[in-house]
Amino acid sequence: MKPSERSSMPERTTPRWLHRTVVAGLLGALLLVGFVVMRPFLVSIAWAAILVYVSWPLHVRTLALLRGHRAWAALAMSGVLTLTLGVTLLWLGLLLRGELILAFREVTALLQTGPHLPEPIARIPLLGPWLQERLAEFGGDRAALKLQLTELAEQWAGRTLRILGDVGVNALLFGVALVTSFFLFRDGDRLLEQLRRILQGLLGERVDGYFNAVGDTTRAVVYGLLLAATAQGLMAGLGYWVAGVKAPVFWGAATAVIALIPFGAPLVWGSIGLWLLLQGQLGAGIGLLLWGGLAVSWIDNLVRPMVISGVADIPFLLVLFGVMGGLAAFGLIGLFVGPVVLAVLLALWREWAAVIEPAAAGR
């Protein structure tokens, strides 16, 4: 065949649909493999992003003090986070160790003497004997209960290595989060801008609305949860101190942590108040229960909705559903992931409603 005849023949080209299908398949496979590789560290990355987001205003000031040296500013902020979180967790761990030993001694003493009501309650006609009988049934046979506790202790002793292994894994993930925070401090704004441009190429200008929804909701949830939990921890700690509870600072910190979950603080101050009542400290127990119901819970019912509704244009009930659902689905990180997902869905809903309403009015 002559060259002229060969050049005149049509060239075979790959169909465009087949080319796009192959490219999409390869991209999907790479994304799937990348997800499998990154999956063990996704929670650490999410926590790092939340920590960086919360402390970003301080990072901006640090960057200005260091005259724009991004690496040094990121290193300084990562060091601050490491010291703050590390010292706090170590301090809480030491306090928890002492409180567990004290609680074990008190439970042992209670098992030896048997559960009993305080004298003022036990003397109430009809009600006192009935409550004491119910409490005795709840306590059951002390010898059998001691045997069960001994068997339970032996079982937990066999799981000690696994618990220590989990502690090591969590410490590793905590370290990954801190290392990730350095790179997010240094390049986080650039990565966010690149992500915005990529999504604008795919979805158009509507991406700005989604970014605003995510930013406003994250800011509202973070500040709302942290402010409400901190205020509840401080108020509850004051109540513990006045009631004479041992280690009021530790229990105040524990209340603040549990208060990150909506309506979770009563689990702490309510249990401590009931324990004081069982110990015969009626004034302290009743006072703590009243303080928790009137002061601590009042903060939860006022501060959290006010902050969240004031910062983000999203109903507090939807945020509440996002917090509880996210917690059930993703664990502690779901406290922030759940509301953000619902906020994006709400932004989509409002956008579609804004497009459909003029179309419907023009018919």
Summarised one tens digit per residue, pLDDT across range 328-346 is 888 778 877 888 788 778 7
Nearest to 333 by CA among 267, 261, 263, 232: 261
pLDDT of 157: 47
Q: Is residue 129 part of a domain?
A: no
Q: Is residue 81 part of a domain?
A: yes
Residue 131 neighbours by CB under 8 Å, 6+ apart: 117, 121, 122
Summarised one tens digit per residue, pLDDT across range 76-114 is 999 988 888 877 777 767 766 666 666 566 555 555 555
- Structural domain for 102, as ranges: 41-113+159-355
- At residue 57, does pLDDT exceed 60? yes
Q: Is residue 153 part of a domain?
A: no
Q: Is residue 12 part of a domain?
A: no
- At residue 284, does pLDDT exceed 50? yes
Task: Render the burial of 261-270: b for 16+ CB within 10 Å, e for the rest.
Answer: bbebbbebbb
Q: Which residue has the higher pLDDT, 27 or 120?
A: 27
Number of domains in the chain: 1
Q: Is residue 142 part of a domain?
A: no
Average pLDDT over the chain, rounded to an integer? 75
Q: Which residue has the higher pLDDT, 200 or 111?
A: 200
- At residue 297, does pLDDT exceed 50? yes
pLDDT of 160: 45
**What whole-number distance in Å separates Cα of residue 119 and Cα of residue 124?**
9
**What whole-number distance in Å separates Cα of residue 215 and Cα of residue 136?**
54
List C-alpha distances in Å: 10 to 3, 7, 18, 326: 13, 8, 19, 58
Determine the distance from the C-alpha atom of residue 67 to the mean position of all C-alpha atoms in its chain, rounded to a whole number: 34
Q: What's this model's pTM, rounded to 2 decimal places?
A: 0.65
Q: Is residue 33 part of a domain?
A: no
Q: Is residue 238 part of a domain?
A: yes
Q: Is residue 69 part of a domain?
A: yes
